Structure 1
Amino acid sequence: MTAPQENASVANAPQAVSERDRVIVFDTTMRDGEQSPGASMSLEEKLELSKILEDMGVDVIEAGFPIASNGDFEAVRRVAEIVSESTVCGLARAGIGDIDRCAEAIRPARRGRIHTFLSTSPQHRDHILRMSQEDVLNAITGSVGHARNLCGDVEWSAQDATRTERDFLRRCVEAAIKAGAGTINIPDTVGYTYPSEYGEIFRDLIENVPGADTVIFSTHCHNDLGLAVANSLSGVQSGARQVEVAINGIGERAGNAALEEVVMALRVRQDRLPFPTRIRTEHITRASRYVSAITGFPVQFNKAIVGKNAFAHESGIHQDGMLKNASTYEIMRPEDVGQGASNLVMGKHSGRHAFREKLKALGYDLGQNALNEAFGRFKDLADKKKHVFDDDIVALVDDALARGADRIQVKTLRVIAGTEGPQEAHLTVTVDGVEKSATATGDGPVDAVFNAIHQVAPHAATLRLFQVHAVTEGTDAQAQVSVRLEEDGRIATGQAADTDTLTASAMAYVNALNNLSARKEKSAPAPMTASGF
């Protein structure tokens, strides 16, 4: 019998299957994922993420909901301009205005898609749409037909499909196919279904709807019952050839099916799921870390595939097995998902070449200037810490990438704290290169630091999240701080890492202020939001 480890190592080799069996990966991190409260992304972040997704081999990138706001429209348009290999998709409700706006946004794309949807379940028909079944069928025909006249690639989704009467769902799918949809999405909008039931829905539609053999069926599963990935795989087994997923599983409520979990399940278990994808899996961890950094949503340590502990072994029995043969306790290799093949400890005597190779192993490919800056910060950190672990380096580089060319930057910070208050912070920052200083007190050292920042950079934002966690173990561990600010309905997140928790707190708060300022300048308030299907 072939060991699982050996299976995994060849899983991305060319497969003896037809193109019809290939699974199209449709990423909705920038659309459904961004609808997670607090996960809003800036234009620059979306552009960078689109490059990461394209490099990873994602087939379809759903870049936003163009009618929702000028900012969303601009994001979809700009992504359409820079992406050349992946299909760029925009979301639209069944209205003519939505569809026209979407068509305009994706017009620059080399490959564009209009994704239009309409609710079909009795719960949504009666309480949201207030439409009869015939009204819904007419709206599907009209909206899909209009979209097809504007774009050769149209996807139609039956919102809340899994709670829709089966006979009516067949009629809806048939109407969409006749109107010109090339992809039919059957979303589990509220995470209600379970694997065998979801698979049966696909089998029923494929076997009984006229024209079903001419289109691609798609899954879109939410995780309210923790079944999103299992349901997606069941859909694939039953004939779906597109999966709609999000990095780290982010999305409405409990989130979407996680891209990394679906893709690696298909790769590792090809004995039962012989359906290849085009995903270059070594890019997965980098994508996961980037999405976590820009949203401020940490990845739980035991998260499958991309969690810090996904390839960690503490049990003596497990360690013994790993030393003898890695396949005893690992069904995939960490390097297959960009986690790095080893945990080589770096220190102050490590050279630039070793540092560059370590970054490559961790999934980073920095330009010379960025490399020089990161190496300098690594040396400073190595002087403070006895051991510098992989997670320290990841935090260090992500912190530098997140802060970039911020207008406001922390220069010096001194804090007086202890049992005798009030605590006091002395802060100096640069604002567009000009130094500004302030001294402030507060109810605790962090409050004092944030009050000092408010003095040098006045603002009306409200602090919605302040989160600290240690990057590694030990009293000399770096603190990674996430800060989320909200002002006039706009939300921005900042992150920073430092061995000094208060310094990291100040830098994260300032980073969030910079992101909030950029967001106010470049986007208009969103008058509406899309459904998460």
Structure 2
Amino acid sequence: MTTPNQSDKDRVVIFDTTLRDGEQCPGATMTFEEKLEVANLLDTMGVDIIEAGYPFASDGDFEAVREIAKRTKNAVICGLSRAAHKDIDRCAEAIRVAKRGRIHTFLSTSPVHMKYKLQMEPAQVYEMVISSVTRARNHTDDVEWSAEDATRTEFDFLCRCVEAAIKAGATTINLPDTVGYAVPEEYCDMFKRIRETVPNSDKAVFSVHCHDDLGMAVANSLAGVRGGARQIECTINGIGERAGNASLEEVVMAMRVRNDKLPYWNNIESTSLTHASKMVSAATSFPVQYNKAIVGRNAFAHESGIHQDGMIKNAQTYEIMLPETVGISATSLVMGKHSGRAGLIHKLEELGYKLSKNQIEDVFVRFKALADRKKDIYDEDIEALVDQEMASSHDRIRLVSLTVIAGTHGPQRATMKLDIDGQVKIEEAEGNGPVDATFNCIKSLVPNEAKLELYQVHAVTAGTDAQAEVSVRLSQDGRSVTARAADPDTLVASAKAYLSALNKIVMKNHRDVQVMAEAGH
């Protein structure tokens, strides 16, 4: 919906690839249920196109894309596909049930990619562009074609490929900075020159897709828009391969706050940005850096006395946007052991969470238990409780109890009780330290081949009674999963984080077996 000051020519389409490019980030794999939750939020917050996955990659990816396509009400559901016909056909099958579906097919066009990755001559690549787009267009009238590594592609060849893709039926042309090599001025100029040179360029929407290897993904994306692109491909929290992608929340708010220099608009409901950030962080177990723009914990925090003095006199002295515009409440409701359900519900809404009655009840029980152990309950404490509840809602393995004996006189020993698919089991194990003993208990109770790649601890808030937040990354069969958990007891948090990661592996294995069984029938 436009206002008198907003024209269609200045509208920027937001293409979110959190579920595809974001999930390719090592260790950021989401469960089937988590993907559905994230997709639902992206749809309700106004994302125009959701790239739900890469259907040909696995049966699990195919099922996730198809289910998201089935459930989504507003956004276009897009599937990624290589230029191979079998990939394109599989992608078409996954998005067929969508209200509106898109096939996104890509092919490398830079000399280094053609020579070493594809091992193809430019003439062969050119013909494959036409063939792949034509194949995709036979399935749907919404086809996007990407020139992988466009910023390192010879200009004349790029123009030929773009012209051919549009002629074959592509309605969106994406010119990605695949390796984060470009700088804003040249990226802007590339789009201007392409649109001026390619005779049929007016028949397609041009798109930017920038990686952050040199820290310029957002700047490059906005430069591409200045050059005539009208679609930005981005991810929540900027997650993605290597250094990540352009951050959705940053490009959205840059256009809102600096509309004088970036006179464009989009349909994103900005008050959902913080909630989306927290949901994706919880689903992927990737913490958001404290000083992350827009959604970081310190984005609206002021500790310097000079800054605090300025803020007291007028918030505009040090804040260029209202925290409410990105979903952060400007007021603070102190929580403690005397707080009731109504207060907790209000706080959850204030923090941007929308939970079911059962989830609220479970969080309330955990909140009361924490309040009995910890005098001051901060927003971060409540967020940690909610993230833990959302992460564990589908767990098949749950911690019942843990007792650890540690100290200067060894050996360290742990006794653990787990609920595994409804059956309670108990085990005792020794280890080289209390954490090792705890993890050895888990391995005895749930035999697995997972390798521990990361174990990290930090305090959620200040103080000796602060909750410990533990991050654990496990790898198995070439696939890594990361999980986090928080508890005032560091060892309990360690056990919960390890079990959360293990649950992700178990759920993925269980789903793969289900998909294979269904395929067999």
Are the structure 2 counterparts of residues 88 and 13 from structure 1 closer, same or farther at C-alpha, using a change threshold of 3 Å?
closer
* 1:269 maps onto 2:230 in alignment: no
* 1:143 maps onto 2:136 in alignment: no
Percent pairwise identity: 60
The residue identity in structure 1 corresponding to 2:80 is L
Provide the secondary structure at the position in 1 that maps to 2:18.
coil
Question: Quick one: distance in 2 between partners of 1:82 and 1:302?
Answer: 35
Map of 1:155 onto structure 2: 144
What's the CA shift string for 1:313-372, capped at 9, x where partnerless? 011111111112111111111121122223433111222212111111100111222112
Map of 1:48 onto structure 2: 37
**What is the aligned length?**
515
Provide the secondary structure at the position in 2 that maps to 1:150.
coil
Question: Quick one: distance in 1 between partners of 2:111 and 2:479?
Answer: 34
What's the CA shift string for 1:404-448, capped at 9, x where partnerless? 142221111111111222111111112222221111110111000
Map of 2:384 onto structure 1: 395
Map of 2:518 onto structure 1: none
Which of 519, 528, 531 is matched with 2:508 structurally? 519
* 1:60 maps onto 2:38 in alignment: no
The residue identity in structure 1 corresponding to 2:424 is E
Question: Quick one: distance in 2 between partners of 1:523 and 1:432?
Answer: 18
The residue identity in structure 2 corresponding to 1:520 is N
Map of 2:307 onto structure 1: 318
Q: Is the 8 A contact 1:69 1:524 kept in 2?
A: no
Question: Quick one: distance in 2 between partners of 1:61 and 1:164?
Answer: 27
Map of 1:7 onto structure 2: none
Provide the secondary structure at the position in 1 that maps to 2:56.
coil
Question: Quick one: distance in 2 between partners of 1:309 and 1:31?
Answer: 28
The residue identity in structure 1 corresponding to 2:410 is G
Q: Is the 8 A contact 1:35 1:252 kept in 2?
A: yes
Map of 1:378 onto structure 2: 367
Question: Quick one: distance in 2 between partners of 1:64 and 1:54?
Answer: 15
Question: Quick one: distance in 1 between partners of 2:414 and 2:181?
Answer: 51
* 1:171 maps onto 2:160 in alignment: yes
Which of 333, 342, 350 is matched with 1:353 structurally? 342
* 1:492 maps onto 2:481 in alignment: yes
* 1:409 maps onto 2:398 in alignment: yes
Map of 1:423 onto structure 2: 412
Q: Is the 8 A contact 1:305 1:337 kept in 2?
A: yes
Question: Quick one: distance in 2 between partners of 1:296 and 1:42?
Answer: 11
* 1:294 maps onto 2:287 in alignment: no
Question: Quick one: distance in 2 between partners of 1:484 and 1:48?
Answer: 22
Provide the secondary structure at the position in 1 that maps to 2:23.
helix
Normalised to the residue count of structure 2, the TM-score between the two structures is: 0.96
Map of 1:124 onto structure 2: 113
Provide the secondary structure at the position in 1 that maps to 2:372.
helix
- For residue 243 of structure 1, report the CA deviation from its aligned partner: 0.3
- For residue 188 of structure 1, report the CA deviation from its aligned partner: 0.3
- Worse overlay, 368-377 or 153-162: 368-377
Question: Moved runs in structure 1, 4+ residues, more than 6 A?
Answer: none
Question: Quick one: distance in 2 between partners of 1:309 and 1:271?
Answer: 26
What's the CA shift string for 1:40-83, capped at 9, x where partnerless? 12211111110111111111111111111111111111111111
Which of 413, 438, 442 is matched with 1:449 structurally? 438
Provide the secondary structure at the position in 1 that maps to 2:19.
coil
Question: Quick one: distance in 1 between partners of 2:229 and 2:145?
Answer: 14
Map of 1:194 onto structure 2: 183
Question: Quick one: distance in 1 between partners of 2:176 and 2:514?
Answer: 28
Which of 87, 100, 110 is matched with 1:98 structurally? 87
Provide the secondary structure at the position in 2 that maps to 1:35.
coil
Q: Is the 8 A contact 1:69 1:525 kept in 2?
A: no
Question: Quick one: distance in 2 between partners of 1:49 and 1:221?
Answer: 22
- Worse overlay, 335-344 or 435-444: 335-344
Which of 199, 212, 219 is matched with 1:223 structurally? 212
Q: How does 1:326-345 map to 2 (within 5 A)?
A: 326-345=315-334
Which of 237, 256, 269 is matched with 1:280 structurally? 269
Q: Is the 8 A contact 1:344 1:390 kept in 2?
A: no
The residue identity in structure 2 corresponding to 1:409 is R
Map of 1:9 onto structure 2: none
Are the structure 2 counterparts of residues 440 and 285 from structure 1 closer, same or farther at C-alpha, using a change threshold of 3 Å?
same
Provide the secondary structure at the position in 2 that maps to 1:415.
strand
- For residue 15 of structure 1, report the CA deviation from its aligned partner: 5.6
Question: Quick one: distance in 1 between partners of 2:505 and 2:354?
Answer: 28
Normalised to the residue count of structure 1, the TM-score between the two structures is: 0.94
- Worse overlay, 60-69 or 431-440: 431-440
Q: How big is the alpha-carbon RMSD for the aligned residues of Structure 1 and Structure 2?
A: 1.6
Q: Is the 8 A contact 1:294 1:493 kept in 2?
A: no
- Worse overlay, 278-287 or 108-117: 278-287
Structure 2 residues without counterparts, runs of 5 or longer: 516-521
Structure 1 residues without counterparts, runs of 5 or longer: 1-11, 527-533
Q: Is the 8 A contact 1:71 1:524 kept in 2?
A: no
Q: Is the 8 A contact 2:27 2:479 kept in 1?
A: no
The residue identity in structure 2 corresponding to 1:460 is E
Q: Is the 8 A contact 1:489 1:525 kept in 2?
A: no
Question: Quick one: distance in 2 between partners of 1:15 and 1:326?
Answer: 30
Which of 174, 190, 206 is matched with 2:195 structurally? 206
Question: Quick one: distance in 2 between partners of 1:464 and 1:205?
Answer: 45
